[in-house]
Amino acid sequence: MRIVIVGAGIAGISAAEELRRRDRTSEIVMISDEKYYYRAALSKYFQDVISKDEVQGKPENWYEANNIKLKPGKAMRIETGKQQVECDDGDIISYDKLLIATGAVPFVAPWPGLDLDGVCTYRGLECVEKFLRFIKAGARHAVVIGGGILSFELIENFLKVGLKVTFVVRGSQLLNLLFDDVAAGIIEKDLRTADVDIRFDTEAERFAGENGRVTGVVTKSGDTINCDIVAVAVGIKADGSLLEGSNITFDRAVIVDEYLRTSAPYVYAAGDCCAIKTGESAVRPTRTWLTSALQGRTAAGNMLGDERVFDEGVFFNVSHVFTSFYGVIGEFNPRDPEGFEFRSWRFSESSYMRWTLKGGTVVGAIIVNASHYIWPVRQLIESGVDVSEVVKGDPSPEDLNTLLPQHAQTLF
């Protein structure tokens, strides 16, 4: 059997590892224009803490050692009727099973001046190298556009290498999809302490330039923010161009069922490029690195005949934003608050926790700079135990552990 994987990110690599672990004989072909690397390590490379080689997620001989053929280049077209993938060099690769794991690409609005030197997105190694080239050429002031986590990563990078930073935010609050106003306020204070110029309720209209080089951002209010670099981090999107002309359903993402199967026979998808839809249920996009890895493994098993439903479990994302550490769990910030209750604790000026409650149980949480609460709260959500008495006071992590079933208890 020949299994073809398009993409060598965490979903594709996780699938290849699982396939080879369980099946030593099938042929595995990975089509990708870049080798697997740790996206989370890009900041350390940006800041010259680690080398480019250290960003790579696998040693050079990994593919050969695992009998995996890496086909450099880009997949351009899938013909599901013939079970073939056409590559940018004209090669046609047939498959018995196919996994689409192409990830996502940065979203950019059609701003005039987008093609000026110094205007960059932030997604991969090539983006970092563009920024470094401009900085080495003398750039001193960066404008960061966007309000997601990558924006804060960029701000931290620019500050670390000595640039002045202006942060352009379309709304009136930071990270409104992730945090409530208290948690967002902690991050805002951190940024202002670091002398970041935050421009709330501001939108870019175009980018100004001279001699092909960006010189500023012109806002919709008519102001001009002079700068040497414009970093655009307004979100990501799946690229559906590979699926044009195929019978694979694409609706802002590759649509898959609970088994990670697409609408075409023998074709699966995993990672940022896909979204799960079952019956009339809402589409659930892939949101984290860990979820992408788990989807890759599940898809691999199903290509080998498992028929296993992908279960993300309780949503769980732990990371850092600027100088703060955070965790968001379960229904951490429901769009419609109807039917939910909220209870919050402010442990210090920079430490905070909020629970989303329903029927006496915790169903979600936002935790900032209180890392010792993260795992007990996740276990409370998974266990579904009643916390009615606990929320009346100021519970410690140890208090939370006493509520858990014996098999779930962990010492902290």
pTM, full prediction: 0.91
- Report the C-alpha gap between 114 and 104 in whole angstroms: 20
Any bridge partners for residue 164, and if so which? Answer: 141
* Adjacency order of strands within the sheet including 229-232: 119-121, 229-232, 141-145, 164-168, 197-199
- Report the C-alpha gap between 168 and 199 in whole angstroms: 5
- Report the C-alpha gap between 15 and 101 in whole angstroms: 9
- Report the C-alpha gap between 141 and 163 in whole angstroms: 5
Q: Domain for residue 165, yes or no?
A: yes
* Beta strand 324-330 pairing with 361-368: antiparallel
Residues 297, 327 share a domain: no
Q: Which of 235, 251, 278 is the last residue of a domain?
A: 235
pLDDT at 406: 62
pLDDT tens, position by position, for the chain (412 residues)? Answer: 999 999 999 999 999 999 999 999 999 999 999 888 888 899 999 999 999 889 999 988 999 999 999 999 999 999 999 999 999 999 999 999 999 999 999 989 999 999 999 999 998 889 999 999 999 999 999 999 998 899 999 999 999 999 999 999 999 999 998 999 999 999 999 999 999 999 999 999 999 999 999 999 999 999 999 999 999 999 889 999 999 989 999 999 999 999 999 999 999 999 999 999 977 666 777 778 889 999 999 999 999 999 999 988 899 999 999 999 999 999 999 988 889 999 999 999 999 999 999 999 999 999 999 999 999 999 999 999 999 888 888 888 888 878 877 655 554 4
Q: Domain for residue 309, yes or no?
A: no
Q: Domain for residue 112, yes or no?
A: no
Residues 215, 281 share a domain: no
pLDDT at 408: 56
- Report the C-alpha gap between 332 and 314 in whole angstroms: 11
- Determine contact, residues 81/251, Cβ cutoff 8 Å: no
CATH at 29 = 3.50.50.60
Residues 268, 203 share a domain: no
Exposure string over 53-81, b if 16+ CB within 10 A, otherwise e: eebbebeeebbeeeebebbeebbebbebe
CATH at 386 = 3.30.390.30
pLDDT at 131: 95
Q: Which of 270, 303, 336 is the last residue of a domain?
A: 303
Residues 12, 40 share a domain: yes
Q: Domain for residue 308, yes or no?
A: no
Q: Domain for residue 262, yes or no?
A: yes
Q: Domain for residue 114, yes or no?
A: no
Residues 265, 222 share a domain: no
Give the chain's domain count: 3
Residues 198, 272 share a domain: no
Residues 98, 45 share a domain: yes
Q: Domain for residue 227, yes or no?
A: yes
Residues 123, 226 share a domain: yes
pLDDT at 411: 44
pLDDT at 342: 95
Residues 229, 215 share a domain: yes
Tell which residue, 258, 320, 368, 367, has the closest CA to residue 380.
Answer: 367
Residues 168, 139 share a domain: yes
Residues 287, 216 share a domain: no
Q: Which of 186, 220, 235 is the last residue of a domain?
A: 235
Distances (CA, A) of 90 to 5, 86, 242: 17, 6, 14
Domain that holds residue 358: 316-408
Residues 288, 388 share a domain: no
Q: Domain for residue 206, yes or no?
A: yes
